[in-house]
């Protein structure tokens, strides 16, 4: 049984709420439960209880996660914890000889085997939600969350009070902090090439169209845009648009990134090329509308390119709302090729269509 089916059967959410959760999952990634919590349809504790029922496994409580001793935490290294979405809890009753581990995906046999080999113990998986795991990976291991999982205005993810409520009255989520980042747990998202030397071979325009039109997952769209940028632009950044911010998602640059692109969060409010494209829902080309161009300056520093008076931003629009902004920076000394800019505009339109198609497909599952 899938989580959405279980939640409907238990009357925890409505069909329209499930469809909204699936839609935001297509657009922004993350697990379905994470999107339902972010939308306010579930709180984290209710989600955890349903996950325990789904997997037929014990759940990891905040009390257990807060009380993990240092010697237990050291049994699983930070890198493994990040990749597998796993946090050791200790040796708990009724299995005192088995190491209890909170896991985002407790059904992952490969991860269970890897954890057993690393710790030298039998592993007893406990269920933990993605949001709660990311919070405690940051708190216990110092693994910062990506901007995708960090909501503006607060530093805490989970609490028993002060949370946003819609469908559920119980304590749950407090929108997370302005430190933006999500650790790379056992992620199935594609790797972002940080420099030109490590980038994928460039795509022809036709091949990029084909890949976007055939995409079955958002990552395939983002990667096609990045691969198309090689040789045509000095830098290209694909942003997620959420809560009035442009959150770094995918990037290509001829220089070295000064920070992981997923750490980058830029405000869309105020005058900027990003804001112009987001507000008008059409491509922007030219000089930044802001005299000081602070948004662009931070972006340029992040991708290691020189300032430019000619920038290009194409919005990816779904239901009259920007879900991505595709920023392109001209090649030094060469500027933009009109053909490349026009083709990138068309790819953004095709990306919009691909998202709509994938959203429709989720309704038929």
pLDDT tens digits along 294-304: 999 999 999 99
Q: Which domain holds residue 346?
A: 196-363
3-state SS, residue 109: helix
Mean pLDDT of 81-103: 91
As a whole number, mean pLDDT of residues 112-132 equals: 95
Site of tokens 């969060």: 265
Helix (H) or strand (E) holding 252: strand 245-253
When divided into structural domains, the chain yields a total of 2
Taking alpha carbons only, the member of 91, 98, 133 closest to residue 112 is 98
**Residue written as tokens 């309704």?**
363
**214 vs 155 pLDDT, higher one:** 214
Residue 96 clears pLDDT 80, i.e. is over it: no
Please tell me whether residues 80 and 208 are part of one structural domain. no
* Pair (341, 258) in one structural domain: yes
CATH number where 245 lies: 3.30.450.40
Instruction: Give Cβ neighbours of residue 260 (< 8 Å, ≥ 6 apart).
Output: 146, 181, 192, 248
Residues 204 and 143 in one domain: no
Q: How far is CA 170 from CA 43, 51, 88, 173, 274, in A?
A: 7, 16, 27, 10, 37
* Residues paired with residue 98 on neighbouring β-strands, in sequence order: 122
The CA distance from 102 to 90, in Å, is: 10
Q: Determine how β-strand 98-103 pairs with β-strand 122-127.
A: parallel
> Is the confidence at residue 337, as pLDDT, over 50?
yes
Q: What is the pLDDT of residue 94?
A: 73
From CA 22, how far away is CA 18, in angstroms rounded? 6
Mean pLDDT of 80-96: 90
Could you give the CA distance from residue 174 to residue 36 in angstroms, rounded to a whole number?
14
Query: Would you state the pLDDT for residue 352?
Result: 98
Query: Strand, helix or coil at 303?
Result: helix
Does residue 145 belong to any structural domain of this protein?
Answer: yes
Contact 266, 295 (CB under 8 A): yes
Report the half-sphere exposure of 129 (CA within 13 A, side-chain side).
29
Looking at residues 124-140, what average pLDDT do you find?
96
The pLDDT, as a whole number, for residue 95 is 74
pLDDT of residue 125: 96
Percent of the chain predicted with pLDDT > 70: 85
Residues 275 and 357 in one domain: yes
283 contacts 315 by C-beta, under 8 angstroms: yes
Q: pLDDT value at position 364?
A: 61
Decide if 25 is inside a domain: yes
Per mean pLDDT, which range of 34-38, 212-216, 289-293, 336-340 is the poorest?
289-293
* Between 271 and 277, residue with greater pLDDT: 277
Whether the CB-CB separation of 132 and 48 falls below 8 Å is answered with: yes
160 pLDDT band (50/70/90 cuts)? very low
- Residues 137, 242 within the same domain: no
Query: Please, what is the average pLDDT of the chain?
Result: 86
**For range 59-68, the mean pLDDT:** 96
Nearest to 24 by CA among 4, 7, 9, 8: 4
Name the one residue in this structure whose structure tokens are 């931070």. 298
Same domain, 235 and 137: no
Look at residue 93 and tell me if it is in a domain. no
Average pLDDT over residues 11-22: 96
21 pLDDT tier (thresholds 50, 70, 90) = very high
Burial bucket for residue 113 (CB in 10 Å: 0-12, 13-18, 19+): exposed
Query: What was the pLDDT predicted at 365?
Result: 55
In a domain, 208, yes or no: yes
- Tokens found for residue 210: 């084909």
What integer pLDDT is reported at residue 172 of this predicted model? 34
Per residue, the 3-state secondary structure of 120-136, as one string, reads CCEEEEEECCHHHHHHH
pLDDT, position 183: 36
Instruction: Give the residue, 246 or 186, on which the prediction is more confident.
Output: 246
C-alpha distances in Å from residue 25, one per residue of 22, 34, 230, 232: 5, 9, 28, 31
The DSSP secondary-structure symbol of 146 reads: B
């Amino acid at each position: 049984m899938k989580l959405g089916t279980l939640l409907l059967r238990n009357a925890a959410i409505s069909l329209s709420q499930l469809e909204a959760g699936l839609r935001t999952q297509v657009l922004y990634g993350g697990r379905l439960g994470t999107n339902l919590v972010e939308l306010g349809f579930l709180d984290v504790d209710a989600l955890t209880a349903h996950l325990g029922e789904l997997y037929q496994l014990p759940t990891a409580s905040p009390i257990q996660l807060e009380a993990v001793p240092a010697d237990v935490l050291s049994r699983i290294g930070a890198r493994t914890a990040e990749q597998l979405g796993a946090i050791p809890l200790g040796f708990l009753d009724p299995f005192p000889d088995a190491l209890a581990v909170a896991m985002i995906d407790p059904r992952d046999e490969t991860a269970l085997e890897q954890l057993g080999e690393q710790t030298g113990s039998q592993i007893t998986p406990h269920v933990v939600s993605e949001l709660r795991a990311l919070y405690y990976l940051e708190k216990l291991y110092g693994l910062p969350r990506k901007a995708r999982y960090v909501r503006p205005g607060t530093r805490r993810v989970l609490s028993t009070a002060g949370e946003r409520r819609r469908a559920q009255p119980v304590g749950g989520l407090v929108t997370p902090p302005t430190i933006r980042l999500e650790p790379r747990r056992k992620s199935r998202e594609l790797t972002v090439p940080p420099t030109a030397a490590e980038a994928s071979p460039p795509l022809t325009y036709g091949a990029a169209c084909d890949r976007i039109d055939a995409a079955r997952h958002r990552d395939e769209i983002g990667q096609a845009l990045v691969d198309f940028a090689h040789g045509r632009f000095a830098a290209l950044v694909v942003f997620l648009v959420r809560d009035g911010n442009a959150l770094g998602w995918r990037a290509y640059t001829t220089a070295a990134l000064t920070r992981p692109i997923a750490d980058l969060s830029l405000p869309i409010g105020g005058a900027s090329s990003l804001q112009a494209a987001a507000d008008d829902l059409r491509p922007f080309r030219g000089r930044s509308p802001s005299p000081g161009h602070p948004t662009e300056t931070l972006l340029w520093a992040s991708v290691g390119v020189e300032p430019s008076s000619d920038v290009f931003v194409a919005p990816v629009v779904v239901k009259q709302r920007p879900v991505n902004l595709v920023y392109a920076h001209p090649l030094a000394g060469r500027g933009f090729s009109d053909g490349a800019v026009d083709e990138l505009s068309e790819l953004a339109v095709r990306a919009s269509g691909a998202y709509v198609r994938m959203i429709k497909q989720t309704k038929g599952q």
